[in-house]
Amino acid sequence: MIFPFTLLSVACLLFLSPAQGAERSGDAAFVDSCQEHARTAIALESESLSQIEIASGEERFNLYRAYDRFLGTWLQVERLQAQLAVAIEADSSVEEEEARTTLRDQARFVLLDLEQAEGDLERNTPALERPDHFRINQAIRRLLAEVRTAVGRLLSEQWAHPSRAVP
């Protein structure tokens, strides 16, 4: 009775097309990290907008500048997540390699953008007069630093599998 089951299993395996794109352990960790950080980002975005509404003059300008910088950087993080999905869902090894190369390049860009955004927000700190504005600025900088760490791990994971590494 086991023999027919074995033949059927082998026969079915012959007709399955192997998945080319694959999720790596670092991929899952990055997705999990981004989901966690996205919740924080949404809360900070909402809080920033509330503070902008009640601010006036130059203070409002500084808050808008920080908000715009934060959102622009966060959009790049989301693009990186989308590129990771493309790499995981690739239909062939060639498509996966191309997607992983783009993923690597996007991750490098995002790392630079995160670092620059943190620096911009730090330089903006002295212009913030109210403690709640300072607190939001600090929270955004902390979030960006955590995301930078996650992106760095994702990038290093691309070379953790030499047989599948992207050049």
- The answer to whether the predicted template modeling score (pTM) of the entire model surpasses 0.85 is no
Check pLDDT > 70 for residue 54: yes
Span 13-25, mean pLDDT? Answer: 49
Check pLDDT > 70 for residue 112: yes
Check pLDDT > 60 for residue 114: yes
CATH classification code of 23-157: 1.20.1440
Span 62-86, mean pLDDT? Answer: 94
Q: Of the candidates 3, 117, 12, 101, which has an alpha carbon nearest to the alpha carbon of residue 69?
A: 117
Is the distance from CB of 38 to CB of 77 less than 8 angstroms? no
Check pLDDT > 90 for residue 164: no
User: Which residue ranges make up each domain of the chain?
Assistant: 23-157
Q: What is the pLDDT of residue 25?
A: 66
The pLDDT tens digits of the residues spanning 121-134 come to 998 887 777 888 88
Which position has the higher pLDDT, 30 or 164? 30
Give one word for 8, left, alpha or beta, with left for phi > 0 and alpha for psi -120 to 50. alpha
Q: What is the pLDDT of residue 8?
A: 36
Check pLDDT > 60 for residue 20: no
Number of Cβ atoms within 10 Å of the Cβ of 130 = 13
Question: pLDDT band at residue 155, thresholds of 50, 70 and 90?
Answer: very high
